[in-house]
Chain A
């Protein structure tokens, strides 16, 4: 069970990081 929680946490962390990439790109798009 703890392994499943850890893996879910990792998926969420990397999804957040990818969303952050897209957010930064979107900010650039808005300004240009």
Chain B
């Protein structure tokens, strides 16, 4: 670790915190239908959309109707993506003449992008046409993020409203999230990425003649001499912005944000990380503004920052360590080299920005990568996995992070109430048995899917284990990471796992589907129940949710729930691998 590295990390988090408040206030104005400076342009567009689609923007929805609309919208857009993938060979903007996507892979990808996961069991530049990337996938980057924001707003209204049966209008929330938030920000960030050298074109791929022809031996043992290299192109900059802002993470290229056409410079890397945290940080403060307690928003954001810092510190420390198996190799940091574990990392990002990116992308549900998590040191690789296993509430996905955090807040307030022997209250709303049942359902579904699918996969040598590149605890981490990433709707890959098989395509698709929709439903049920309650006046027995004590208790509940659930599996994976590495074993 170096002073330079810590300075870069400090500049990053200070920038996020400086932008969080204006972003939070802007989001509050957008979702409270207050005036914004974009209204003269966007209100006519909004009205036109409602007129075309027949949406009654004054109609208020109960939680069941809100959930139904979420499912209907997701189902319709999912089928559209599946159809585009299957028909891409017949559709325009396919200069490479790529064939139709195979059905299992198309099914997996359609669910992946609908659920904001963006798990990619394929190589985009050799599988998806430009039209599929734009119409099938990039559109979902907007829609799934807008759905996440709409759901978070529904939960916030559930807390803020008193004796109300409704949570707002799903179609209005999705429309406003897209028009007022995601589109303008995407334009700004796209232009910034273009300035850094991210490509944006519809050209066929370039072919370059190699200065030094390469001998390549294929799987059949035949050696061929390669004299040319194909350089993929495409409309990348426009997709890159929403990929990060919407915490989607699906790369235009297989190498994702490690590819020089997606993330060419340290500045573009900084902007990508900023784009990931910008909206989740703003949403935390938007919560405070909308419930009339800005300090509560800051208390929640403080919990996120503390958890982010612990993850960053651990990952940065682990990756800065020399690999103990590389005897006699200079791995110290100097002016000539980054030092530490540079396997799977880009030289232009070094240890600091690789470890920080890995932490940020898994704190949020982004899943973009600028380094290969599979090549991290065992404890460094454990950090991204642990971030997702905590439920992706450390900033979290756009909207999804906030509503996940709100479920943890319900549990925290409930536990605090048990401690002092009073009926728990959250901002004046009594937390009763139904709320806790739904919160527990939310918290239990997540490990049930991850551990269930991981266990089944590990018990099937011919189906699950045959896809592994590594054995031992590292192999366990690869399987555990895949189902963690899918269920948490993160989408980053640990790599080292061939996931483009029928078993993984279908099982991961189901994990992504359940990880999204089976968690949204109990969350909305809590919101609907809270909205109908009276707001009790604050008394001496009310647990304050604006203090450092609340922040510490919230962090404690998140860590204890995560550790009780997942420590046994982590101890058999990355922790065991770390201990064995120290003893001289590699996997």
Contacts and interface: CB of A to CB of B under 8 A. Distances in A.
Contacts of A20: 517-518, 521
B433 A21 contact: no
Interface stretch (B63-71, B160-168, B343-351, B356-364): B63-71
Residue of A7, A10, A21, A27 with most chain B CB atoms under a 10 A cut-off: A21
B103 A28 contact: no
A32 B528 CA distance: 14
B302 interface: no
Contacts of B6: none
A3 B75 contact: no
Interface residues of B, number: 28
Nearest to A21: B67
Nearest to A18: B71
A24 B438 contact: yes
Contact of B521 (A3, A9, A14, A17): A17
Given A17-B518, A17-B521, A25-B525, A3 B71 contact: no
Interface string A1-32: 01101110110011001101110110110011
Contacts of A7: 79, 82
B238 interface: no
Contacts of B518: 17, 20
Interface in B353-407: none
B103 A2 contact: yes
Contacts of B239: none
Contact of B434 (A2, A14, A22, A28): A28
Contacts of B64: 21-22, 25
> What is the interface of chain B mostly: helix, strand, loop, or mixed?
helix
Interface in B114-173: none
Interface in B472-517: 510, 513, 517
B86 interface: yes
A28 B104 CA distance: 38
B86 A3 contact: yes
Contacts of A6: 82, 103, 106-107
Given A3-B103, A21-B521, A24-B438, A14 B75 contact: yes
Given A21-B67, A27-B434, A10 B525 contact: no
B107 A9 contact: yes
B540 to A, nearest CB: 29
A31 B521 CA distance: 18
Given A3-B86, A25-B64, A17 B103 contact: no
B86 A14 contact: no
Given A6-B107, A17-B518, A31-B433, A24 B79 contact: no
B78 interface: yes
Nearest to A32: B434
Contacts of B517: 17, 20
B398 to A, nearest CB: 21
Given A27-B434, A31-B434, A13 B79 contact: no
B529 interface: yes
Given A10-B75, A18-B71, A31-B433, A24 B522 contact: yes
B547 interface: no
B229 interface: no
B475 to A, nearest CB: 29
B214 interface: no
A9 B104 CA distance: 12
Nearest to A11: B75
B227 to A, nearest CB: 39
B434 A17 contact: no
B434 A10 contact: no
A19 B104 CA distance: 25
B521 A10 contact: no
11 contacts: A6-B107, A7-B79, A7-B82, A9-B107, A10-B78, A10-B107, A17-B521, A24-B521, A24-B525, A28-B434, A28-B529
Given A3-B86, A17-B517, 7 more contacts: A6-B107, A7-B82, A10-B107, A14-B74, A17-B518, A21-B64, A21-B521
